[in-house]
Amino acid sequence: MSTSERLIESTRELLWERGYVGTSPKAILERAQAGQGSMYHHFKGKPDLALAAIRRTAQEMRAAAEAVLTGPGTPYERIEAYLRRERDVLRGCPVGRLTMDPDVIADDTLRAPVDETLDWLREQIAQLVEEGREQGEFAPSLDGEAIAATVVATVQGGYVLARASGSPTAFEAGVRGLLSLLATHKNPLA
Protein backbone atom coordinates (compact mmCIF):
# COMPACT_ATOMS: atom_id res chain seq x y z
CA MET A 1 0.00 0.00 0.00
CA SER A 2 1.38 3.41 -0.96
CA THR A 3 2.05 6.12 1.59
CA SER A 4 -0.92 8.19 0.40
CA GLU A 5 -3.18 5.11 0.73
CA ARG A 6 -1.90 4.44 4.25
CA LEU A 7 -2.57 8.07 5.16
CA ILE A 8 -6.13 7.91 3.80
CA GLU A 9 -6.89 4.59 5.52
CA SER A 10 -5.41 5.79 8.82
CA THR A 11 -7.43 8.98 8.65
CA ARG A 12 -10.62 7.01 7.90
CA GLU A 13 -10.06 4.83 10.96
CA LEU A 14 -9.23 7.76 13.21
CA LEU A 15 -12.23 9.80 12.05
CA TRP A 16 -14.47 6.85 12.89
CA GLU A 17 -12.83 6.31 16.28
CA ARG A 18 -12.11 9.88 17.41
CA GLY A 19 -13.88 12.37 15.16
CA TYR A 20 -12.30 15.25 13.28
CA VAL A 21 -10.91 17.22 16.22
CA GLY A 22 -9.51 14.06 17.84
CA THR A 23 -7.71 13.11 14.63
CA SER A 24 -4.42 14.94 14.85
CA PRO A 25 -1.83 14.97 12.09
CA LYS A 26 0.56 13.29 14.54
CA ALA A 27 -1.91 10.44 15.17
CA ILE A 28 -2.47 10.01 11.43
CA LEU A 29 1.26 9.81 10.75
CA GLU A 30 1.78 7.33 13.61
CA ARG A 31 -1.06 5.09 12.47
CA ALA A 32 0.09 5.25 8.84
CA GLN A 33 3.71 4.68 9.86
CA ALA A 34 4.65 7.64 7.70
CA GLY A 35 7.26 10.33 8.07
CA GLN A 36 6.45 13.86 9.13
CA GLY A 37 6.59 15.37 5.63
CA SER A 38 4.50 12.63 4.04
CA MET A 39 1.12 14.19 4.71
CA TYR A 40 2.11 17.51 3.18
CA HIS A 41 3.80 15.83 0.23
CA HIS A 42 0.53 14.07 -0.73
CA PHE A 43 -2.10 16.43 0.72
CA LYS A 44 -2.44 20.17 1.40
CA GLY A 45 -3.09 19.48 5.08
CA LYS A 46 -5.44 17.78 7.48
CA PRO A 47 -8.66 19.11 5.85
CA ASP A 48 -7.58 17.84 2.41
CA LEU A 49 -6.64 14.44 3.81
CA ALA A 50 -9.88 14.26 5.82
CA LEU A 51 -11.86 15.02 2.66
CA ALA A 52 -10.09 12.18 0.81
CA ALA A 53 -10.85 9.84 3.73
CA ILE A 54 -14.51 10.89 3.93
CA ARG A 55 -14.92 10.45 0.17
CA ARG A 56 -13.41 6.96 0.38
CA THR A 57 -15.71 6.04 3.27
CA ALA A 58 -18.72 7.32 1.31
CA GLN A 59 -17.66 5.37 -1.80
CA GLU A 60 -17.36 2.15 0.21
CA MET A 61 -20.76 2.66 1.82
CA ARG A 62 -22.32 3.27 -1.61
CA ALA A 63 -20.69 0.17 -3.06
CA ALA A 64 -21.91 -2.04 -0.20
CA ALA A 65 -25.44 -0.63 -0.41
CA GLU A 66 -25.53 -0.78 -4.20
CA ALA A 67 -24.51 -4.44 -4.20
CA VAL A 68 -27.69 -5.44 -2.35
CA LEU A 69 -30.05 -2.76 -3.67
CA THR A 70 -29.33 -3.72 -7.29
CA GLY A 71 -28.96 -7.43 -6.58
CA PRO A 72 -31.42 -10.21 -7.27
CA GLY A 73 -34.92 -10.34 -5.89
CA THR A 74 -38.06 -8.29 -5.70
CA PRO A 75 -37.90 -4.68 -4.51
CA TYR A 76 -39.04 -5.78 -1.03
CA GLU A 77 -36.37 -8.50 -0.94
CA ARG A 78 -33.66 -6.03 -1.96
CA ILE A 79 -34.74 -3.55 0.71
CA GLU A 80 -34.75 -6.42 3.18
CA ALA A 81 -31.27 -7.47 2.01
CA TYR A 82 -30.04 -3.90 2.57
CA LEU A 83 -31.51 -3.77 6.06
CA ARG A 84 -30.18 -7.20 7.03
CA ARG A 85 -26.76 -6.97 5.38
CA GLU A 86 -23.69 -7.64 7.50
CA ARG A 87 -22.75 -4.60 9.60
CA ASP A 88 -20.58 -3.85 12.60
CA VAL A 89 -23.62 -2.45 14.41
CA LEU A 90 -21.87 -1.65 17.68
CA ARG A 91 -19.18 0.31 15.91
CA GLY A 92 -21.76 2.43 14.08
CA CYS A 93 -22.00 3.69 10.55
CA PRO A 94 -18.80 5.41 9.41
CA VAL A 95 -20.82 7.88 7.31
CA GLY A 96 -23.59 8.33 9.86
CA ARG A 97 -21.09 9.02 12.62
CA LEU A 98 -19.69 11.89 10.57
CA THR A 99 -23.11 13.59 10.81
CA MET A 100 -22.59 13.79 14.56
CA ASP A 101 -19.18 15.43 14.22
CA PRO A 102 -19.74 19.19 14.60
CA ASP A 103 -16.50 20.02 12.77
CA VAL A 104 -17.47 17.95 9.73
CA ILE A 105 -21.02 19.31 9.65
CA ALA A 106 -19.81 22.91 10.01
CA ASP A 107 -17.54 22.56 6.97
CA ASP A 108 -19.49 22.51 3.68
CA THR A 109 -16.65 20.76 1.84
CA LEU A 110 -16.27 17.96 4.41
CA ARG A 111 -20.04 17.57 4.78
CA ALA A 112 -20.72 17.35 1.03
CA PRO A 113 -19.76 13.66 0.54
CA VAL A 114 -21.85 12.74 3.59
CA ASP A 115 -24.91 14.61 2.27
CA GLU A 116 -24.43 13.23 -1.23
CA THR A 117 -24.18 9.65 0.03
CA LEU A 118 -27.29 9.84 2.21
CA ASP A 119 -29.20 11.57 -0.61
CA TRP A 120 -28.05 8.85 -3.04
CA LEU A 121 -29.16 6.13 -0.63
CA ARG A 122 -32.62 7.64 -0.18
CA GLU A 123 -32.98 7.99 -3.97
CA GLN A 124 -32.03 4.33 -4.55
CA ILE A 125 -34.53 3.08 -1.99
CA ALA A 126 -37.28 5.42 -3.25
CA GLN A 127 -36.69 4.04 -6.77
CA LEU A 128 -37.01 0.49 -5.44
CA VAL A 129 -40.33 1.34 -3.81
CA GLU A 130 -41.51 2.91 -7.07
CA GLU A 131 -40.39 -0.19 -8.96
CA GLY A 132 -42.35 -2.32 -6.49
CA ARG A 133 -45.43 -0.15 -6.98
CA GLU A 134 -45.14 -0.42 -10.79
CA GLN A 135 -44.77 -4.21 -10.55
CA GLY A 136 -47.77 -4.43 -8.23
CA GLU A 137 -45.69 -5.68 -5.28
CA PHE A 138 -46.47 -2.60 -3.17
CA ALA A 139 -49.75 -0.79 -2.75
CA PRO A 140 -50.14 2.23 -5.06
CA SER A 141 -50.49 4.52 -2.04
CA LEU A 142 -46.98 3.75 -0.72
CA ASP A 143 -44.80 6.89 -0.76
CA GLY A 144 -41.31 5.93 -1.97
CA GLU A 145 -39.58 9.03 -0.59
CA ALA A 146 -41.17 8.57 2.83
CA ILE A 147 -40.23 4.89 2.92
CA ALA A 148 -36.67 5.72 1.85
CA ALA A 149 -36.36 8.30 4.62
CA THR A 150 -37.74 5.76 7.10
CA VAL A 151 -35.28 3.08 6.01
CA VAL A 152 -32.31 5.43 6.41
CA ALA A 153 -33.62 6.72 9.75
CA THR A 154 -34.16 3.16 11.01
CA VAL A 155 -30.62 2.12 10.10
CA GLN A 156 -28.94 5.24 11.48
CA GLY A 157 -31.12 5.33 14.60
CA GLY A 158 -30.58 1.60 15.07
CA TYR A 159 -26.83 2.17 15.16
CA VAL A 160 -27.27 4.83 17.85
CA LEU A 161 -29.54 2.66 19.99
CA ALA A 162 -27.28 -0.38 19.63
CA ARG A 163 -24.20 1.63 20.62
CA ALA A 164 -26.03 3.15 23.58
CA SER A 165 -27.13 -0.26 24.87
CA GLY A 166 -23.95 -2.11 23.92
CA SER A 167 -26.03 -4.69 22.06
CA PRO A 168 -27.19 -5.12 18.45
CA THR A 169 -30.66 -6.08 19.73
CA ALA A 170 -32.13 -2.58 19.29
CA PHE A 171 -30.84 -2.38 15.70
CA GLU A 172 -32.28 -5.79 14.87
CA ALA A 173 -35.63 -4.93 16.47
CA GLY A 174 -35.86 -1.73 14.41
CA VAL A 175 -35.16 -3.66 11.22
CA ARG A 176 -37.75 -6.33 12.06
CA GLY A 177 -40.33 -3.66 12.89
CA LEU A 178 -39.74 -1.71 9.69
CA LEU A 179 -39.89 -4.84 7.54
CA SER A 180 -43.14 -5.91 9.16
CA LEU A 181 -44.64 -2.46 8.53
CA LEU A 182 -43.43 -2.51 4.93
CA ALA A 183 -44.83 -6.02 4.47
CA THR A 184 -48.28 -4.74 5.40
CA HIS A 185 -48.12 -2.51 2.30
CA LYS A 186 -47.35 -5.37 -0.02
CA ASN A 187 -50.03 -6.14 -2.54
CA PRO A 188 -51.53 -9.52 -1.52
CA LEU A 189 -52.12 -10.35 -5.19
CA ALA A 190 -48.45 -9.89 -6.13
Phi and psi, residue 141, nearest 5°: -80, -10
Beta-carbon contacts of 134 under 8 Å, excluding residues fewer than 6 positions away, are none
Read off the pLDDT of residues 1-14 as tens digits, 9 standing for 90 and up: 899 999 999 999 99
Classified as helix, coil or strand, 43 is: coil
At residue 186, the pLDDT reads 81
Read off the pLDDT of residues 28-63 as tens digits, 9 standing for 90 and up: 999 999 988 888 889 998 999 999 999 999 999 999
Spatial CA neighbour of 103 closest among 178, 180, 50: 50
- Segment 112-140 shows an average pLDDT of 96
pTM above threshold 0.85: yes
End-to-end CA distance of the chain: 50
Tell me how far apart the alpha carbons of residues 5 and 52 are, in angstroms, rounded to a whole number: 10
At residue 37, the pLDDT reads 86
